[in-house]
Amino acid sequence: MDKTIEIPKLTILTKEQVYGDNKLNIFKVIDPKAAVSDTAILRGAYVSNYHVDNDSSLGGRTGYYWLQNSDRDGDVLSIGPDGDSDCLVRIRRSSGVRAALPYSSIQNLPHTIKTRPNGLEEITYGYYPGSATNKFIQRSLEDSYNAGDLTSIGTGCIFDGRKYDDYGEDFLPEKQEYFEYNGEIYARIRANSGFDDTYFTLSNEEKYKNGNYVWIKVEPIVWLKHPLDDIMISEKEIIAGVRFDKTIGGYNDDFNTTKLKWFLDNHLSKDILSLDKLKKDINKNNYSDDEIKTINNFIYLNENGKTLKKKKIIVKAKRKSNN
């Protein structure tokens, strides 16, 4: 029997989910501020000197992330580095994506779940470039890459290839290839940060500037959820460098028509399901021998609707003996 895996569509939080009487239960336990991933910093995210609670490391630094709502001037609400509400114009690329998703939509897809000491559920679902490797692995990967010893595994993710301050330019798909090295998956990402020509520091304590290539490990995405909520949210800002929309002002909470929602639907929702990793995880589960999981129409599109890439991947999952 053929089954089509419907890829769950990512979204972002609303102000009602973060603040007020009907906010998600998770925000009764933790502060709304979120740490910024190294990938997000490399793609233009603002990073502050504030930190998430109980994490004073460079990896715990916070930034801005978008909400779905507008403010009274037609700009977009966001959560600032200190966890308070703020607002940004729609064309900015410095605000990150803290993704949200109903847990019920991924229950038939590979994921893990465990409970943290504070009672929140920690879920891993999907894979994406996250943290910069240490300088020794950086050097080994770059040497192997330059020697032609690294081979792309045939999948990857899509970034907006525009410069971080190209506010008036439409989405430009930029493919990031994934490479395997000693059993791990990495991406070689060119720095396109908001630091202009000055150096900045990533979580590996190494300094970089725009134009440098940085090796980032492709890691499981960590999500957080309260047991009483269905909505789970990414622990960190996953990516930045994508405009919320293409005009200034005039936003009226119509999130489904925005360029950011288009990016989430057509790229990020699909990219986090790294195909090779997905196949490995499916094979760990107990499916019948004849059950086939199909990822159909894994399509990359640009803003004008032109198809860049289309794949049909069929994964056979073998039953593990329970005897």
Q: By three-state DSSP, how is residue 200 classified?
A: strand
pLDDT recorded at residue 78: 94
Question: Do residues 10 and 268 touch, judged by C-beta distance below 8 A?
Answer: yes
Quickly tell me which residue has 């593990």 as its tokens: 320
Nearest Cα to Cα of residue 93 among 214, 202, 246, 211: 246
Average pLDDT over the chain reads 85
Domain spans in the chain, listed from the N-terminal domain onward: 2-316
User: What pLDDT digit, counting tens, does each position of 199-251 carry?
Assistant: 999 999 999 999 999 999 999 999 999 999 999 999 999 999 999 888 887 88
Percent of the chain whose pLDDT exceeds 70:
83
User: Which position has the higher pLDDT, 275 or 273?
Assistant: 273
User: Are β-strands 121-132 and 152-160 bridged in parallel, bridged antiparallel, or unpaired?
Assistant: unpaired
Rounded CA-CA distance 166/162 in Å is: 6
Residue 20 Cα distances to 15, 24, 168, angstroms: 8, 9, 35
Model confidence over 116-168: pLDDT tens digits? 999 999 999 999 999 999 999 999 999 999 999 998 888 899 999 898 888 88
* Ramachandran sector of residue 320 (left: φ over 0; alpha: ψ -120 to 50; beta: rest): beta
pLDDT tens column, 6-58: 789 999 999 999 998 999 999 999 999 999 999 999 999 999 999 999 899 99
Q: Give pTM, 2 decimals.
A: 0.84
- Percent share of the chain, pLDDT over 90: 65
Q: Does residue 275 have a pLDDT over 60?
A: no
Whether the pLDDT of residue 311 is over 50: the answer is no
- Contact 53/43 with Cβ under 8 angstroms? no
Residue 264 has pLDDT above 50, yes or no: yes
Residues in contact with 159: Cβ distance below 8 Å, sequence separation at least 6, in sequence order? 43, 173, 174, 176, 239, 241
pLDDT at residue 192, as a whole number: 93
Tokens representing 223 are: 């999500």
Mean pLDDT for 172-200 is 93
Residue 36: what pLDDT?
98
Neighbours of 276 (CB within 10 A): 16
